[in-house]
Amino acid sequence: MRLALGLSYLGTAYEGWQSQPSRRTVQDKLEEALSQFTAQPVSTVCAGRTDAGVHALMQVVHFDVAVDRREFSWLRGTNRFLPPDIAVQWARAVPDEFHSRASATSRRYAYVVLESPVRPSIDANRVGWVFRPLDGEAMRAAAAHLVGTHDFTSFRASECQARSPVKTLTRVDISRRGAYWRFDFEADAFLHHMIRNIMGSLLVIGQGQQPPDWMRDVVAARDRDAASPTFSPDGLYFLGPVYDAKWQLPSRTPAYDGLP
């Protein structure tokens, strides 16, 4: 049978999603837990790989397994073997043609940034940080140059393995609650470090070091050196993929309600 899981995790302690020889990745921990629960090797495929230090509210994975369990048992049984900063939120049996990555129509991320003269403490690693005031209108005007189908080479990491730098960014929403800013992104797919590199440039504009239209020039340059340095992974959350309703999968987890 093929199973899909919705997974949330705090990425601080891990070397990203993808399995590594160190075995200190979220994929390694999940597959170890699934293998213990099923008493057989399990290999998973995720909807979107996350970098070291990046969190997820609803990573979606699928895998094939020759074990028949109730969906509730998959949830409880797998979580029993997972560390406390990783938890399966839901489990669903899916048709064999479902693929966690290929079946996704888009992917969603959020960046939470604290604007404060003092660095974070109780929310360290869970939020980004700037100590200079940010101009929301300037950042929104800059973000408008990003929406649409563009060559995002200027925001692409040198080690990116994507076949094409052309992606369609459908939404960039910027909001504020108290001292916390939230940046929401949705696209058909993202390049390696694309959001962290965009954030670096948005924050430069928000702090008045560049005008909003500078973002248009950065996109047009198609040159990584034209953009600002990569921003910290702290405060970046993978909200999860979007699927067609025919798959009947959850679109959110309770963790969404706790994000600023």
Q: What is the 3-state secondary structure (H, E, C) of 12-67?
A: HHCCCCCCCCCCCCHHHHHHHHHHHHHCCCCCCEECCCCCCCCEEEEEEEEEECCC
- How far is residue 26's CA from residue 20's CA, in Å, rounded to a whole number? 10
Rounded to an integer, what distance in angstroms lies between the CA atom of residue 183 and that of residue 168? 17
Name the amino acid, one letter, at 4.
A
Contact criterion met (CB below 8 Å) for 46 and 59: yes
As a whole number of angstroms, the distance between CA 24 and CA 3 comes to 24
Assess whether 68 carries a catalytic annotation: no
Question: Residues 28, 51, 135, 257: which is the catalytic one?
Answer: 51
Dihedral sign for Cα atoms in the order 159, 161, 163, 165: negative
Active-site positions?
51
